[in-house]
Amino acid sequence: MAELDRQSHWQKVYLDKGEQEVSWTQVSPEPSLGLIERFAPSRQASIVDIGGGASRLVDALCERGYQAVTVLDLSEAALASARQRLGLPGAHVRWVAADVTTWEEPEDAFDLWHDRAAFHFLVEERDRKAYLRRLVRSMKVGGHAIIATFAPDGPEKCSGLPVQRYDPAGLSAVIGDAFELIDQQPHRHVTPWGTEQSFQFSVLRKR
């Protein structure tokens, strides 16, 4: 899917639907939050949330005192919603409306890269390669990437779009030798209307 098409799709989703009308909504951002606190315990750690949208993960990170959080998403509407919800406690958050596959990432490297369900939408190899170039360039050596995707028994589509499903070994192979798979965790996400979705969370460390 072309960048402009992706951007238009997600902008429309967030303009047309409320928080309880999208399948990825979580009241509590787990297991993401627990993994972040485990692998980036310092509150000065530089964290980027890829495809963060209107997720409440940024709220939880701010509440816990993280000082260097960036949220990137295709949808300006999603970011505006999160920014308005957070108010003053989110004043130090860096909000970036961009497509991760074309993003001009900052010169300062991140300690932790978090992606809950953005990478699995990249079903074309050129888009995956563009994402991975930015992942490698923007991460500190020894830093961690937490990437969650639909598991092999998860949905084949989300928000009307096809997805690529992964197990941890398959995801690690796609990510490549620049990162080492060091942890994995299955997760059953329950949508606002009670449907279960099978995810896998992989933690990879940059060599």
User: Using one digit for the tens of pLDDT, what is the confidence trace for 60-75?
Assistant: 999 999 999 999 999 9
pLDDT at 139 over 80: yes
Residue 57 neighbours by CB under 8 Å, 6+ apart:
29, 32, 33, 49, 114, 116
- Whether the predicted pLDDT of 19 surpasses 90: no
pLDDT at 109 over 90: yes
Q: Is 166 left (phi over 0), alpha (psi -120 to 50) or beta?
A: beta
Q: Whole-angstrom Cα distance, residue 10 to residue 8?
A: 6
Give 98-140 as a DSSP string. Answer: S-TTT----SSPEEEEEEESSGGG--SHHHHHHHHHHHHHHEE
Averaged pLDDT for residues 21-47: 94
- The chain-wide mean pLDDT, for the chain, equals 94
pLDDT of residue 83: 94
Please report, in angstroms and rounded to a whole number, the separation of the first and last CA atoms in the chain: 31
| Model pLDDT for residues 144-159, shown as the tens digit of each residue | 999 999 999 999 999 9
Q: Residue 4's pLDDT is what?
A: 60
Return the structure tokens found at 173: 């192979």
Q: Are 202 and 168 in contact (CB under 8 A)?
A: yes
Give pTM, 2 decimals.
0.94
Q: Is pLDDT of 3 > 70?
A: no
Domain 3-206 sits in CATH at 3.40.50.150
Cα atoms found within 13 Å of the Cα of residue 112, Cβ hemisphere only: 27
Cite the DSSP H helix spans in 1-112.
3-16, 32-39, 57-63, 76-86
Residue 32 pLDDT > 90: yes
For residue 17, what pLDDT band results from cuts at 50, 70 and 90?
confident
Mean pLDDT, range 168-193, rounded to an integer: 97
Q: What does the block give as tokens for 60?
A: 């939880």
Measured between alpha carbons, how far is residue 142 from residues 44, 47, 134, 179, 206 in Å?
Answer: 16, 14, 16, 9, 5
pLDDT at 9: 81
Share of the chain above pLDDT 70, in %: 98
Give the pair of three-digit tokens for residue 186. 């299955």
The reported pLDDT for the residue numbered 71 is 98
Across residues 14-39, what is the average pLDDT? Answer: 89
Compute the average pLDDT of residues 53-59: 94
**Whether residue 2 has pLDDT greater than 80:** no
Mean pLDDT of 24-43: 95
Rg value, the chain, Cα: 16
Q: Residues in the chain, how many? A: 207
